[in-house]
Amino acid sequence: MISDVVKMIPVYIMGRKYEVPYGLTILKAMEFAGYSLRRGCGCRGGVCGACVTIYRMPGSYKLKTGLACQTQVEPEMHLTQLPYVPANRALYSIKNVSAGDSDIVALYPEMMRCLQCGTCSKACPMGLEVMDYVAAAMRGDLELVVELSMECLMCGMCAARCPAELSPFNIAMLVRRIYGKHVLPPSPTLKNRLNEIEQGQYAEQLRELKQTGEDVLLRMFQDLQATKGASV
């Protein structure tokens, strides 16, 4: 029996008790328990932010957050997933939005209700200083917002826990888009490469790639990664 080989621990998933092997991630523990994860599951590598999970440990009043693909289950853990947070998202055309803070506030006026309580930062499974980049957005310091929010996974936990009902991750996305469109100087390398593509310089290579099988493309990618790793 599996319990004779692997240490089993009790966990509570969506309020129901299960015995799962010790050492599994929350994602694998849920699958072991019989859940078929069609939502709340994406890249499985800590990149997409789709598997955000809320959990509480016995005897603790604290609600904790983590990504199910990275967080390890612990005995008596009570957990539930929030695969989607219906946070406010403004509609805009980035070419019509200026780099001034007035347009940011106009699109997300709730931003000015920020209490600077730090709940968003505590909730972030990536450990980002969410409160600090919201404060930077309020000051119009776009560069600092970009720096502090670049590793955001858009999981939505900051919005789910915010008492002022902000959508920090969507505010940061707007600022990064503004910064890229209106502040950063155009890349001459990118411009030259786009011109080369438009002039058909890579037409033959692109045609060959489109006709290449998936297995060959995978080997080409693996060879490229191996070459990069050897050169580091």
pLDDT band at 42; cut points 50, 70, 90: confident
- Give yes or no for a contact between 51 and 68, defined as CB atoms under 8 angstroms apart: yes
Q: Is the overall model pTM greater than 0.85, yes or no? A: no
pLDDT at 99: 85
Q: Can 2-81 and 94-183 be said to share one CATH topology?
A: no
- Kindly calculate the radius of gyration of the chain based on its CA atoms and give it in whole angstroms: 23
Buried b (16+ CB within 10 A) or exposed e, 184-221: eeeeeeeeeeeeeeeeeeeeeeeeeeeeeeeeeeeeee
Q: Kindly report, residue by residue over 95-149, the tens digit of the pLDDT.
A: 999 887 789 999 999 999 999 999 999 999 999 999 999 999 999 999 999 999 9
Q: Kindly report, residue by residue over 166-175, the tens digit of the pLDDT.
A: 999 999 999 9
Residue 146 identity (one-letter amino acid): V
Q: What is the CATH number of domain 2-81?
A: 3.10.20.30
Concatenated DSSP letters of 11-33: EEETTEEEEEETT-BHHHHHHHT
Domains of the chain, residue spans: 2-81, 94-183
Q: Which two tokens stand for residue 174?
A: 């707007």
Strand partners, 54: 65, 80
Spell out the long-range contacts of 56-63 with Cβ–Cβ below 8 A and sequence spacing 24 or more.
Answer: none
Strand partners, 56: 78
Span 64-83, average pLDDT: 93
- Topology annotation, domain 94-183: Fumarate Reductase Iron-sulfur Protein; Chain B, domain 2 (1.10.1060)
